[in-house]
Amino acid sequence: MRYYLDTSIWLDLFEDRNETGFSKSVTVQKMMTYIVSDENRIVISPIIIDELVHNGHSKEDIARFFHPFKKLLYVQHCYREILVQASSIAHQKGIPKNDVLHALLSRNSDAILITRDGHFSKLVDITVPVTPEELLQSKMSF
The range of the structural domain enclosing residue 26 comes to 2-140
pLDDT value at residue 72: 87
Bridge-based pairing state of the strands 41-44 and 73-75: parallel
Q: How many domains does the chain have?
A: 1
Q: What is the pLDDT of residues 25-80, one digit of tens each?
A: 999 999 998 888 877 899 999 999 999 999 999 999 999 999 988 888 888 888 89
> For position 128, which CATH number holds?
3.40.50.1010
**pLDDT score, position 142:** 45
Give the DSSP letter of residue 3.
E
Cα atoms found within 13 Å of the Cα of residue 124, Cβ hemisphere only? 5
Residue 114 DSSP SS3: strand
Q: How far apart are CA 130 and CA 74, in angstroms?
A: 20
Q: Strands (DSSP E) along 6-138, which ranges?
A: 41-44, 73-75, 112-114
